[in-house]
Amino acid sequence: MTATPTHLHPPVPVPVDDVVARAQRAFDVLPDLAPAVRAAALDAAAGALAEHADELIAVARDETGLLPARLAGELRRTRVQLGLFARVVEQGTHLDARVDEADPDFALGVPRDDLRRVMLPVGPVLVFAASNFPFAFSVAGGDTASALAAGCPVVVKAHPGHPRLSRRVADLVARALVEAGLPDAVLQLVEGQQTGVEVLRHPGIHAASFTGSVRAGRILTGVAASRPRPIPFFGELGSVNPVVVTADALSEGGDGLLRGYVTSVSGSAGQLCTKPGFLLVPEGSVVDPVIAQAASEVPEHRLLNAAIADGYVARRAAVLATDGVRVVHGGSVRRDDDGQAWVTPTFVAVSLATLRNHSDALLDEAFGPLSIVVEVPARTDLADVVAELFPGNLTSTVHRGAGEIGPHLDRLARVMARTSGRVLFRGWPTGVAVTPAMHHAGPWPATTTDATSVGTAAVGRFLRGVAFQGAPQELVPVPLRDDNPWNVPRSSSPAGESARW
Amino acid sequence: MTATPTHLHPPVPVPVDDVVARAQRAFDVLPDLAPAVRAAALDAAAGALAEHADELIAVARDETGLLPARLAGELRRTRVQLGLFARVVEQGTHLDARVDEADPDFALGVPRDDLRRVMLPVGPVLVFAASNFPFAFSVAGGDTASALAAGCPVVVKAHPGHPRLSRRVADLVARALVEAGLPDAVLQLVEGQQTGVEVLRHPGIHAASFTGSVRAGRILTGVAASRPRPIPFFGELGSVNPVVVTADALSEGGDGLLRGYVTSVSGSAGQLCTKPGFLLVPEGSVVDPVIAQAASEVPEHRLLNAAIADGYVARRAAVLATDGVRVVHGGSVRRDDDGQAWVTPTFVAVSLATLRNHSDALLDEAFGPLSIVVEVPARTDLADVVAELFPGNLTSTVHRGAGEIGPHLDRLARVMARTSGRVLFRGWPTGVAVTPAMHHAGPWPATTTDATSVGTAAVGRFLRGVAFQGAPQELVPVPLRDDNPWNVPRSSSPAGESARW
């Protein structure tokens, strides 16, 4: 029932209805602003983050336990992301503007009227912030940046794991956006789980995004779908990101490859949605010593919060208690008086048969620095294994020998492209580039839809097509006007073209 | 539990598992075929329809009661639609291929690997055929054409209203597609409601489309969402397509305008998803005589089938029994021994107050030739009326005077663009052009998602993004290969570009 308006710090409770009404008023203004103004506002938001980087990183460190270098990188990524979406707004390709000229001889035998289509913003958007990226998937993160780029005011539901940071970022960024010419309340912050659900149910909200657990994601997907008027719900839920290593790759890449694996699993204490949860190696490979050695060098790291610590402790115990699980490096969990957990990474190994027999216990995502090596018998079809056991992931990776090629890899790559949204042929899935060609989504339960939440295509989640037929110049959206003052790229179908169809 | 394979006529029951397995095998082949082959196959399908047009129209007429001229136009539209999607396949714009060059100095401070993204087909698709467009929204209709264009094999669940036509079209079109080089079972037909639900639940199906009632659509949306792995469900459910006529328009357009309204309501016996269900006119306008006269000239027309007849009879009775409803032209319903109904159009008028007071009885879509004139008091804000009473429609229309412009129309057009997917400023919403700029979707309950089912953008429903990172030339999809042998349009981000962000 309470919400935190921006520009107020500490938060003052206000009714959800007021928050959404303010977002709707902002929506009456935002889409009409020239792209240059909206792009400059996103740049200004990035600038505000840069100006207060030291202060923000210190607060984030205190609240999340993440290390300063990681937080500095994440803040840089968040700034770059705002800038990237500013360029998206300037370019206008995402508007997919189309003009069909009136055609008296249309192929259907009836005259065709002038028809123009453009992608318009869906309306006010609710963003559920994530715990594990206090900058990049939080108040001013990718969802907010892409929604604002689309022309949608944003209500962020703060993650309880970093409330002070959320308020401070909301304050700084909302102020920067408004000072740059965007309407008041273009970015608002609310707090509390119940408040988040109330906003999600509010008829004035037109789409929502979420990053979190499969359990919470299923519940919120249901809330969005069971509204009298359902809305799109873009959830990123769970992913175990299998990595397949061929015998050639292992014999060529050796220690370096396994050390890379340990680094990717351990970074940010394994609290990344693209952490490699499974490493598939040929049965008989000797990997334990290198993994154990590399893992033993990883310093203790705090998990994000007590709830995540509880979840990790339970998942780790379940994995370790499963028949047939061999401990490669046990790692550690140390709880403190506040319920926080300090951890070092845990690596175990299982046979493919064990993984199949105990798939319920082993295949769920472990959110934290735990990963499972799977020993795959010779002559096993890896494509079949991936299709069977890893059907819905953000990423899949295959490491092969230099020049190794053949039908087995061809099939594997094809299956990986069906079971995940990003297929890697070298490197590791953590460290997601924010670029035009990034795709961050995958079959259920990786995400609830195929729409990416990272990269420029993420703006598409918050747009909807509308066609205007026989419209006077005064009443069409600016990108469809004859004089095209915003210089939006457009495709057109001239009269007579339909004869080609 | 039964299904109808193509190439067999009359149908032989086969298990659903077999149907889906065949579709999956087709999916292993279809996406790799060169665009020229796939485009030629769609053209061949169009050719098969043209070659058998007379026979098909005769069957359709017998099964649906629709008139030959309308059916001939619809068949032409269906052919043109297949051809249009053939051109989409050739052009390749829908693949949205993106190439980010590797960038050693990426803005995030870490090297960026080569990353390439393309839209790939989602997998086998289930299409629920509609009753009211036996060609254009049925076996070889827009959903099938756009799914095939995307590279997805299609299982069509035949509408029981035209079983013989469905089988014959499936037979002809599947044969044409396969003879043109597409894999076996790229198009299959199943029959029966229970079979349709079983296919929808099958894990081998990756998306579904539907055109029908809100009630059935809600049930099927729930089935798709409650699968262990939910899939996208593109449903077109209900729309009343309000038309607003200003005083200027009425005084200038007069009789012609009202006659156009009657024609649009009566065409195909009102069984069109874009039929204008409401005409909003200024209170005090004299419209009854012209509407009644024009309506009286409309010949009797059979409704599609007995189930639709039952629904129409009930809706019409409910409207006529509502307090405050004035009959403009009563029209008629004549049932025959088979339960079929022969109808002439019914027009009624209500005050805005009556519509508000009896919104439950009056606002639901009446599927058939019934429309309601709404008398709107002077100085009523039409934008508010549309936002309040017509919040989710495929189309909205405003007829204004020549040169009439002003804030009232500006607000109205904006509200219409939020409450519907197509806004018309002249003409009538029936007669949907199949062109690049068409958009046929709208806020709930018009459609379950914002994705259009008509026009070239409809192909996007059956595509999903996948990114390939550090991929060897041999293992990326053809549109992403360096040599780009299919000449797919691509956008690229050169190394160093990120410094601009």
Q: Is A111 on the interface with B (CB under 8 A)?
A: no
Alpha helices in A92-192 (DSSP H): 142-150, 163-179
pLDDT digits (tens, 9 = 90+) for B310-326: 999 999 999 999 999 99
Between β-strands A490-493 and B346-351, what pairing exists: parallel, antiparallel or unpaired? unpaired
Show Cβ contacts of residue B414 under 8 Å, excluding neighbours closer than 6 positions.
B383
How far apart are alpha carbons B325 and A95 in whole angstroms? 44
How far apart are alpha carbons B389 and B387 in whole angstroms? 6
How far apart are alpha carbons A284 and A295 in whole angstroms? 21
Question: Residues of chain B with pLDDT > 70: what percent?
Answer: 97
How far apart are alpha carbons B136 and A449 in whole angstroms? 28
β partners of residue B497: none
Q: Between B83, B417, B474, which is nearest A466 by CB? A: B417
Q: How many CB atoms lie within 10 A of CB A190?
A: 24
Q: Do B106 and A433 touch (CB under 8 A)?
A: yes
pLDDT, residue A202, reads: 98
Which residues of chain A lie closer than 8 angstroms to B450, CB-CB?
122, 232, 464-465
Residue among B63, B191, B273, B375 flagged as catalytic: B273
Tokens found for residue A195: 């408040």
Q: Between B427, B439, B468, which is nearest A117 by CB? A: B439
Q: Is B7 on the interface with A (CB under 8 A)?
A: no
pLDDT, residue A7, reads: 44
pLDDT band per the 50, 70, 90 thresholds, residue B107: confident
pLDDT, residue A266, reads: 97
For residue A226, pLDDT beyond 50: yes
pLDDT band per the 50, 70, 90 thresholds, residue A71: very high
pLDDT, residue B5, reads: 42
| A325 and A198 Cβ atoms separated by less than 8 Å | no
How far apart are alpha carbons A230 and A226 in whole angstroms? 6
The alpha carbons of chain B give a radius of gyration, in whole angstroms, of 25
How high is the mean pLDDT of chain A?
94
Which of B244, B384, B435 is most worth mutating to test chain A (most A CB atoms within 10 A of its CB)? B435
Active site residues of A: 236, 273
| B150 and B462 Cβ atoms separated by less than 8 Å | yes
Mean per-residue pLDDT, A486-500: 86
| CA of A167 vs chain B CAs: smallest distance (Å) | 25
pLDDT, residue A5, reads: 42
pLDDT digits (tens, 9 = 90+) for B4-54: 444 444 455 679 999 999 999 999 999 999 999 999 999 999 999 999 999
Which residues of chain B lie closer than 8 angstroms to A449, CB-CB?
232
Alpha helices in B2-34 (DSSP H): 16-27
Q: Of residues A477 and A1, which shows the higher confidence score?
A: A477
How far apart are alpha carbons B278 and B347 in whole angstroms? 10
Q: Do A417 and B113 touch (CB under 8 A)?
A: no
pLDDT, residue B104, reads: 83
Q: Between B229, B441, B472, which is nearest A392 by CB? A: B229
pLDDT band per the 50, 70, 90 thresholds, residue B2: very low
Alpha helices in B352-434 (DSSP H): 352-357, 359-362, 382-389, 407-419
pTM of the entire structure? 0.95
How far apart are alpha carbons B431 and B418 in whole angstroms? 22
pLDDT digits (tens, 9 = 90+) for A393-444: 999 999 999 989 999 999 999 999 999 999 999 999 998 989 999 999 999 9
Give, as one character, the DSSP assignment of residue B183. P
Question: Residues of chain B with pLDDT > 90: what percent?
Answer: 91
- How many CB contacts within 8 angstroms connect chain A with chain B? 235
Q: Do B422 and A467 touch (CB under 8 A)?
A: yes
Q: Is A435 on the interface with B (CB under 8 A)?
A: yes
Which residues of chain B lie closer than 8 angstroms to A410, CB-CB?
474-475
For residue A1, pLDDT beyond 60: no
CA-based nearest residue in chain A for residue B114 = A437
Q: How many CB atoms lie within 10 A of CB B237?
A: 25
- Complex prediction ipTM: 0.95
pLDDT digits (tens, 9 = 90+) for B347-387: 999 999 999 999 999 999 999 999 999 999 999 999 999 99
Q: Do A123 and B418 touch (CB under 8 A)?
A: yes
A313-321 — which CB contacts under 8 Å span 24+ positions? A313/A341, A315/A364, A315/A366, A315/A367, A315/A368, A315/A370, A316/A346, A316/A366, A316/A368, A316/A370, A318/A361, A319/A346, A319/A348, A319/A361, A319/A362, A319/A366, A319/A370, A319/A372, A320/A346, A320/A348
Between β-strands A207-211 and A125-128, what pairing exists: parallel, antiparallel or unpaired? parallel
Which of 59-78 (B) contact A at CB < 8 A? 73, 76-77
Identity at B86, one-letter amino acid code: A
pLDDT, residue B8, reads: 41
pLDDT, residue B205, reads: 98
Please name which of B391, B370, B265, B372 lies closest in space to residue B316, comparing C-alpha atoms: B370
Alpha helices in A274-406 (DSSP H): 288-296, 306-320, 352-357, 359-362, 382-389
pLDDT digits (tens, 9 = 90+) for B417-441: 999 999 999 999 998 989 999 999 9
Q: Is the dihedral of CA A74, A75, A80, A84 positive or negative?
A: positive
Burial class (CB within 10 angstroms; exposed 0-12, middle 13-18, buried 19+) of B151: buried
pLDDT digits (tens, 9 = 90+) for B80-103: 999 999 999 999 999 999 999 998
Q: Is B496 on the interface with A (CB under 8 A)?
A: no
For residue B254, pLDDT beyond 90: no
| CA of A427 vs chain B CAs: smallest distance (Å) | 8
pLDDT digits (tens, 9 = 90+) for A79-123: 999 999 999 999 999 999 999 999 887 777 677 899 999 999 999
Question: Residues of chain A with pLDDT > 70: what percent?
Answer: 97
Identity at A213, one-letter amino acid code: S
How far apart are alpha carbons B92 and B96 in whole angstroms? 8
Tokens found for residue A33: 């602003």
